[in-house]
Each structure stands twice: as C-alpha cells, then as structure tokens.
C-alpha cells in the first residue's frame, strides 16, 4: 500500500508528539526517583534520631537506676550548722542557642557493664597456663594388665567369673 504525501506531515507530528510524551515520562520518572531518594533520606534521618533518643533514654534510665541507692537515716549531728554554697545560675538561653547551632551531636557514651570475674581470665593468665601445660611432662597412662595364657582354655579369651 502506497503512502500518500498528505499523510507524511501527520505521521511526522505524531512521531514528535510521541517523543515529547516519552521525554515527559522520563522526566516524571526522574522526579519520582528524586522524591523517593528524598523520602528515603528523611526516613533514615528520622530512624537515626529515634535510635539516638532511645539510647539517651536508656542511658538516663541506667543513670537513675545507679543513682538510687537505699540509704539509711543518719542521726542529726550536733555542732556547727552546715553552710550552703552560693547557687550560681548558668545562662540557659545562650546554651540553648549554641545547641541549636551545632549540627553534629555528641554521641551518648555506651553503658558498660563490668565483666564478671568468675569466668573471664586475662590474656597473660591464659598464656601462663598454656606455657605451663607445654612445659610439663605428658600424662602417663596406667600400665596395661597382663593376662596370663592358660593352656586349659581352648578359645584363648579371658574368663569372667561372677563374684
């Protein structure tokens, strides 16, 4: 089927429209990818801040647990009354401004539990025990029992007698 010359401009404009639609779709995909990337970054930042807040809470809870100790009531002392130290107020406004300006926050130190001394040995103790074991004589096995051969027994196996 032969193409008419009148159809060529229409086909050309359709091709241009299709190319424009493809470019627009490509731009939309790029925009969607950028939006997804931004959303992922926001998600990661929110997750990280939640984790930091949780760690701060755990550290504060651990600090309050350590600070609370059952104390006995002590008898009142007789003598000179205690002199209170003067209370110095820190400028809270400046500290709040400085905290908001700094972008990198300090990491909360991890709460370290002291290791139990029951089952943990130092490396030097382990090395000493290994050296002692290597220098000592190897363990000796008890001598093998000698079973006398009786010519009376035909099958040459030791006889077990019940007591």
Nearest to 110 by CA among 56, 51, 68: 56
Q: What percent of the chain has pLDDT over 90?
A: 30
90 dihedral zone (left: phi>0; alpha: psi -120 to 50; beta):
beta
8 Å CB contact between 59 and 108: yes
- DSSP codes joined into one string, 24-44: HHHHHHHHHHHHHHHHHHHHH
pLDDT of residue 119: 66
Q: Summarize pLDDT for 33-82 with one digit per residue, the tens.
A: 999 999 999 999 999 999 999 999 999 988 888 655 556 666 566 555 55
Q: Summarize pLDDT for 84-108 with one digit per residue, the tens.
A: 655 555 555 555 555 556 566 778 8
**CA distance readout (Å), 162 to 154, 159:** 20, 10
Measured CA to CA, the distance from residue 112 to residue 92 in angstroms comes to 31
pLDDT of residue 72: 63
Measured CA to CA, the distance from residue 128 to residue 126 in angstroms comes to 5
**CA distance readout (Å), 66 to 37, 53, 57, 107, 111:** 43, 20, 14, 20, 11
């Amino acid at each position: 089927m032969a193409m008419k010359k009148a159809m060529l401009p229409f086909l050309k404009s359709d091709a241009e429209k299709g190319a424009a639609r493809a470019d627009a779709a490509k731009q939309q995909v790029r925009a969607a990818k950028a939006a997804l990337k931004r959303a992922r970054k926001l998600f990661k930042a929110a997750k990280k801040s939640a984790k930091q807040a949780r760690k701060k809470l755990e550290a504060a809870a651990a600090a309050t647990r350590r600070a609370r100790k059952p104390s006995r009531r002590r008898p009142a002392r007789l003598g000179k009354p205690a002199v209170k130290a003067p209370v110095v107020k820190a400028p809270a406004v400046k500290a709040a401004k400085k905290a908001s300006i700094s972008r990198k926050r300090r990491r909360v130190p991890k709460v370290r539990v002291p290791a139990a001394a029951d089952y943990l040995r130092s490396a030097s103790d382990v090395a000493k025990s290994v050296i002692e074991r290597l220098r000592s004589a190897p363990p000796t096995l008890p001598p093998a029992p000698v079973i006398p051969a009786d010519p009376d027994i035909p099958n040459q196996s030791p006889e077990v007698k019940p007591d």
